[in-house]
Amino acid sequence: MRSYEIDSRLMNKLKEETIKRNYRGKRGGLQKRVRRTKLNNFSFPYGLSANVNSLQGKILHLEQTVANTRNLCFIALQETKLQNFEKEWYNEFPRHRFTDDALNIDGYYLFRLDRQFSANGGGLITYIAKNWSISNPKICCTISTPDIELIAVRSRPRFLPSDISNITLINVYIRPTSNVSIADKTLKSSITNLQKENPRTYFIIIGDVNRDRIDILETMGFRNLVDYTTYQRSNSTLDAVYVKGDYYSTRRLYPISTSDHFSILITPKYYEHHHSSVK
């Protein structure tokens, strides 16, 4: 049987022109799988965290971001700088007043904590997707002091690992002028009390902490998933996402409207594949 050899120059030319490596998988495969997954199939929530630097005039941009980022189980906002009409201030005048109805997003529960010690600045909002939480989420802790602002919301999704009973999302804002020692002690005390109430809860601690790490959380077994620049003006890391275990990854997104902070997308590495039974 005769064998033929192809000239090496011709072979190289064929490789350049027609022969291409067939890569396994697809570009952005994880994000595509997340978008295709139904909300009620997420065990660990898929969410977005952003310091909006005042929500005034940015509601439409926030709604567009939510529409373009499908299947968000939660949205955590810091520095909303809003006040409700119900609270009266005698020595200050609130610049931005909004009712809850004006802040609602279709398909989400709204949990709001306006700054209590001043009429302006600060403020937190946490949105929880109705299709993800099988029961009504509840606020289990709120703090608003000059050193730390915190709102903790507990939710129960349809599917969870057997050693976890629910998810506690802690939305935090710590001012640049805060007493860091007092803020850390308050945060640790809040987490400890919440864990005593429900030892099998899983904590997700997110927010703008105005530093690159919180040592006291790391001593409690949490690790920060944010190791990139989140504040544009000084190219520094001021936002954090603290979790336990290897359930999550994060990546940076564009800011909400004119905010000077990048948004953070929190993506779970684990979700359930459940199919409806055919009868």
Is residue 111's pLDDT more than 70?
yes
- In this predicted model, what pLDDT tens digit does every residue of 124-165 receive, in sequence order? 999 999 999 888 999 999 999 999 999 999 999 888 888 889
Q: Where are the alpha helices (DSSP H) in 73-152?
A: none
Which residues does 16 contact at the CB level (< 8 Å), separation at least 6? none
Number of H helices, E strands in the chain: 5, 12
Is residue 193's pLDDT more than 50?
yes
pLDDT band at 232 (very low <50, low <70, confident <90, very high): confident
Is residue 98's pLDDT more than 60?
yes
Share of the chain above pLDDT 90, in %: 59
pLDDT band at 31 (very low <50, low <70, confident <90, very high): low
CATH 3.40.50.720 describes domain 39-268: no
What pLDDT is recorded for position 17? 63
Question: Alpha carbon of 107 to those of 49, 132, 152: distances in Å?
Answer: 18, 10, 20
- In this predicted model, what pLDDT tens digit does every residue of 41-95 receive, in sequence order? 667 888 999 999 999 989 999 999 999 988 899 999 999 999 887 777 777 778 7
Is residue 219's pLDDT more than 80?
yes
What pLDDT is recorded for position 119? 79
Q: What are the strands of the beta sheet with 124-129, ordered from one edge? A: 108-113, 124-129, 74-78, 47-51, 263-268, 248-253
pLDDT band at 279 (very low <50, low <70, confident <90, very high): very low
What pLDDT is recorded for position 41? 66
Q: Which has the closest alpha carbon to 151: 224, 205, 104? A: 205
Cα atoms found within 13 Å of the Cα of residue 75, Cβ hemisphere only? 29
pLDDT band at 15 (very low <50, low <70, confident <90, very high): low
The residues spanned by each domain of the chain are 39-268
What pLDDT is recorded for position 121? 87
Is residue 191's pLDDT more than 60?
yes
What pLDDT is recorded for position 38? 66
Q: Per-residue DSSP letters for 51-95? A: E-S--TT-HHHHHHHHHHSTT-SEEEEE----B-SS---SS---S
SS3 label, residue 193: helix
> Mean pLDDT, to the nearest integer, of 185-202?
95
What pLDDT is recorded for position 277? 47
What pLDDT is recorded for position 161? 82
pTM of the predicted model as reported, rounded to 2 decimal places: 0.83
Q: Which has the closest alpha carbon to 54: 44, 63, 66, 62? A: 62
What pLDDT is recorded for position 278? 46
